Amino acid sequence: MSAEPIATFESSLDEVGVELVRTSADQFESALTPLLDAPAVGASLPFENVSLPDAVETDPGVEKLEAAKTGVTAAGYGIADYGSVIIQGGPDGEEPASLYADEHVAVVAGSDVLPDMDATFDRLAEDIRSGTGQAIIATGPSATADMGALVKGAHGPVEVTVVLLEDR
């Protein structure tokens, strides 16, 4: 992990209105807790020695999902140039948890921050060929200008925060 893409990532995120919270695996829970508005939902995290606190419901029904204030999921990788995260949706429910809650908290490993779209598509192609059924390049919150002015939060989240695991 070089420092450069991370710095670019942070400023690109800032441009699209997304806060970056830097932490490490052992500090993860204390970094996450202030970001959680109840009720919170999520999908289990794939990072070694990192797990979601009990307050995060990982097997919500439709009603809980729709009422969720926070949704915590992993993101496969980040794109420094664009301030994007790639949400890979699978059987664990990353897609609904990242989509229905008012705020999406995306957890990214520091080593998975890629510099640009070129590098991203190399990774994406590899992942898709080995079976990733769904990859969303998500940049900032959902938005619409269809109602006569720009509104943040259309069908998807109103707010996005990225938690970066610097030692992963």
Partner 1 sequence: MSVDTRQRKAERIRHLLETEGDSVHKNTQVFNNGRYESTADLEDYEALKDEARAIKEDAIERLPELVDRVTETIEANGGTVYVADDAADANRYVTEVADGRDVVKSKSMTSEEIEVNESLEASGSDVWETDLAEFVLQVADEAPSHIVAPAIHKSREEIAELFNAYFDPEKPLETAQELTQFAREHLGEKIADADVGMTGANFVTADTGTLALVTSEGNARKCVQATDTHIAVAGVEKLVPRVEDLQPFVELIGRSGTGQDITSYVSLFTPPGDSPTFDGDGELGSGDDREFHLVLIDNGRMEMREDDQLRETLYCIRCSACANSCANFQHVGGHAFGGETYSGGIATGWEAGVHGADSAAEFNDLCTGCSRCVNQCPVKIDIPWINTVVRDRINRGTDGDLDFLVDGLTPDEEPGGVDLQKRLFGNFDTLAKLGSTFAPLSNWVAQTGPARSLLERTLGVDSRRELPAFERESLVEWFENRGPRVDPEEARRQVALYPDAYTNYVRTERGKAAVRVLEALDVRVDVPAAGESGRAPLSQGMVATAQSNAEDVYDSLAPAVAAGHDVVVVEPSDLAMFHREYERLLPEDEYAALKDRSYEVMEYVYGLLENGADLDALPEGDDTRIAYHSHCQQRTLDLEPYTVAVLEDCGFDVTTSDVECCGMAGSFGYKSEYYELSVDVGEALVDQFTTENTADRTVVASGTSCLEQLDALLARRPAHPVRLLDTR
Instruction: Measure CA 13 to chain center.
Output: 12
Near partner 1 by CB under 8 A: residue from 6, 154, 166, 167 = 154
The rounded distance, in Å, linking the Cα atoms of 124 and 42 is 23
CB 116 to partner 1: min, Å: 9
Separation of alpha carbons 73 and 65, rounded Å: 13
Instruction: Tell me whether residue 110 or residue 157 sits nearer to partner 1 (CB atom).
Output: 157
**Token pair of 36, please?**
């959680």
C-alpha to C-alpha distance for 84 and 77, rounded to whole angstroms: 8
- Does the footprint of partner 1 cover residue 42 (CB under 8 A)? no
65 binds partner 1 (CB under 8 A): yes
Q: Does 139 bind partner 1 (CB under 8 A)?
A: yes
Q: What is the CB-side half-sphere exposure of residue 109 using CA atoms within 13 A?
A: 12
Q: Which residues are near partner 1 by CB under 8 A?
A: 59-63, 65-66, 82, 84, 89-91, 93-96, 99, 117-118, 120-122, 124-125, 128-129, 132-151, 153-157
